[in-house]
Amino acid sequence: MRVSQLLIPTLRETPAEAEVISHQLMYRAGFIRKTAAGVYTYLPLAHRVIQKISRIVREEMDAKGGQEIMLPIIQPAELWQESGRWAVYGDEMFRLKDRHQREFCLGPTHEEVVTDLVRGEVRSYKQLPLLLYQIQNKYRDERRPRFGLMRGREFIMKDLYSFDRDAANCKQSYAKMYDAYQRIFSRCGLSFRPVEADAGAIGGTGGTHEFMVLADSGEAGIVYCPQCDYAANVEKAECKPQVKAIDATPSAKELVATPGAKTIEAVTKFLHTEPECLIKTLIYRIDAKLVVVLVRGDREVNEIKLNNVFGAMTVELASAQEVNQLCKCETGYVGPVGLTEVEIVADAEVPLMVNAVCGANDNGYHFKGIKPGRDFTINQVVDLRTIEAGEPCPKCGEPLATARGIEVGQVFNLGTTYSEKLNAKVLGENGKEQTLYMGCYGIGVTRTMAAAIEQNYDQDGIKWPMPLAPFQVVIVPVNLKEQAVVDAAEKLYAELLKQRVEVLIDDRDERPGVKFKDADLVGYPLRVTIGAKTLQDGNVEVKFRATGQVEFVPVEAVVDFLQVQIAAQLASCGN
């Protein structure tokens, strides 16, 4: 392909709306253009990357026995009502009506549709296991679309659904997909970690893992153990109670004046104590009721864990007015003592506290010498907090490390969550009906493209891993007025095409600096620069985008040289 014929509208300036690196660079390098908030047009370069990711995904799905299908984007409300998700999925679902006023949605996911397909077509256990997948657009009406392709309202996703005769076989399908996902992201040339995760809106009780591309800009926090294979999303990571060195001799409860001390920092400073000696008391509205939530003063409430405790649709902090009605004070002076008409849920560390400090439910006052269980009653004790770096690994006890990650895939063991509700059954070996066991497995194809950029860039632009690069090689003739330069560039271009190398020639009548900047911005892994001076020496210049390394290669050897480099980079990723 010739740059003069390719739609690559590069920009020198960064659009003001682009918040993260991948969004900025894809816009500047001519990969995407915004159509509406959270909705993008994919230009030729982006489409080539998407096709490469999709090809890797297809190959690995097919290798595990997957069969590709195409399910409808428009889904009838009846199926979602049958599963119980129509009312609970929330405002993220695009809902619409046809001319007959029948309700539909634009598919955010396809568990209901694929289960309906299987229950109508699969009769016997002999037809199992069944692995059905598609690569298709998905639609979620994000409240605030942002970060470009990271959180959009329309995106491309691979979703596979497994159907098995029992729990043991379902685990085997899960293991197959777990292995396939590791191969997919390795073949994409990405650094990633599978982590234990929360099932969220998809549901299921059999466990789930997220696949995180490691990047400093990642929106998700993960913890991992450098000594063993444990890794988890911070939303999911199990927290063991950590006992701090607090005086273990209980003292009497004491009311103390703390004028103006409404924050953890202010209270600890006023009372000359430490945050771990405080009981942080928060009032949450969980669906229709108010709940008191307690954690140690140096901890943060994990709202995902809190939501899972109650199986709630909504979890949000109560308003100042609601807090005042319940506790008769401002938010900064709330405490659990005396709150007997409301449920109190505490993190597992709170009952271990002795001589703690908490709000007195009276403006300007706190209690000292508080002992949970003696001075107030806890209704539930559960793991409610967010884990922190340095805490012991739940598996081996070594200190945990933290990192940031971008979720690009997730695997779910659904069990019978959907099959029971949708009555998806087959005849077993004994001739009796048995409920199917299911799994679902998603990969964000467009998100993977963005995540690859977040992990591979510098101040000049993108540095594509070889397996995902829109083109493997770009040829840059320095001066089109030099016929020898043009002839050498065209000859090399033709030879590389003949060898089926993905090559682009920058045949524009532009200054060399413009061509070099565009090549770095787009991120082609190998750049061949042909100039009169190097040709006189019988060489061309080859630059490696990933490292900046430059080599001068004899003209007659450059085709073989490039092929070796491409093959080596692909092989290093398992391709």
Higher pLDDT among residues 475 and 308, named by residue: 475
pLDDT value of residue 18: 85
| Residue 561 and residue 553 in contact, taking contact as beta carbons nearer than 8 Å | yes
Higher pLDDT among residues 216 and 551, named by residue: 551
DSSP 342: S
Asked whether the predicted pLDDT for residue 279 surpasses 80, the reply is yes
pLDDT value of residue 14: 86
What would the pLDDT profile of 389-427 be if each residue is shown by its tens digit?
Answer: 888 888 888 899 999 999 999 999 999 999 999 999 999
pLDDT more than 90, % of the chain: 81
Asked whether the predicted pLDDT for residue 205 surpasses 60, the reply is no
Which two structure tokens, joined as six digits, stand for 265?
């920092």
- At residue 249 the predicted structure's pLDDT band, cuts being 50, 70 and 90, is confident
Q: 300-318: b or e for each residue (b if 16 or more CB lie within 10 Å)?
A: ebbbbbbbbbbebeebeeb
pLDDT value of residue 233: 84
Q: In DSSP terms, which residues pair with 526 in a beta bridge? A: 473, 544
Q: In DSSP terms, which residues pair with 525 in a beta bridge? A: none
CB within 8 Å of 394: residues ≥ 6 apart: 230, 237, 238, 240
Asked whether the predicted pLDDT for residue 197 surpasses 80, the reply is no
pLDDT value of residue 206: 55
User: Average pLDDT in the 48-69 region?
Assistant: 98
Alpha carbons 408 and 210: distance in angstroms, whole number: 8
Q: What value, to the nearest 5°, has the Cα angle with vertex 494 and ends 488 and 497?
A: 140
Instruction: Report residue 481: phi and psi, to 5°.
Output: -85, -15
Q: Nearest Cα to 167, choosing from 135, 207, 122?
A: 207
Alpha carbons 94 and 90: distance in angstroms, whole number: 10
Asked whether the predicted pLDDT for residue 338 surpasses 60, the reply is yes
DSSP 146: B
What would the pLDDT profile of 26-46 be if each residue is shown by its tens digit?
Answer: 999 999 999 999 999 999 999
pLDDT value of residue 145: 87
pLDDT value of residue 308: 86
Q: Nearest Cα to 537, choosing from 550, 553, 557?
A: 553
DSSP for 48-102, written as a single string: HHHHHHHHHHHHHHHHTT-EE----SEEEHHHHHHHT-TTTS-TTSEEEE-TT--
Which two structure tokens, joined as six digits, stand for 120?
């109508």
pLDDT value of residue 43: 98
Q: Which helix (H) or strand (E) holds 130?
A: strand 130-139
pLDDT value of residue 87: 86
- At residue 246 the predicted structure's pLDDT band, cuts being 50, 70 and 90, is low
What would the pLDDT profile of 73-84 be if each residue is shown by its tens digit?
Answer: 999 999 999 999
User: Average pLDDT in the 213-229 region?
Assistant: 87
Alpha carbons 222 and 219: distance in angstroms, whole number: 10
Higher pLDDT among residues 203 and 356, named by residue: 356
| Residue 412 and residue 441 in contact, taking contact as beta carbons nearer than 8 Å | yes
pLDDT value of residue 251: 87
Q: What is the CB neighbour count within 10 angstroms for residue 148?
A: 28
User: Average pLDDT in the 363-391 region?
Assistant: 93
State CA 519 to chain mean position distance.
29
pLDDT value of residue 244: 66
What would the pLDDT profile of 90-147 be if each residue is shown by its tens digit?
Answer: 889 999 999 999 999 999 999 999 999 999 999 999 999 999 999 999 999 988 888 8
Asked whether the predicted pLDDT for residue 324 surpasses 70, the reply is yes
What would the pLDDT profile of 132-157 be if each residue is shown by its tens digit?
Answer: 999 999 999 988 888 899 889 999 99
Domains of the chain: 31-190+202-216+413-454 (3.30.930.10), 254-382 (3.90.960.10), 463-572 (3.40.50.800)
Alpha carbons 186 and 129: distance in angstroms, whole number: 26
pLDDT value of residue 420: 94
DSSP for 352-385, written as a single string: G--SEEEE-SSTTEEEEEE-TTTSS--SEEE--B
Q: Tokens 């289960």 belong to which residue?
A: 115
Asked whether the predicted pLDDT for residue 535 surpasses 90, the reply is yes
On average, the pLDDT of the chain sits at 93
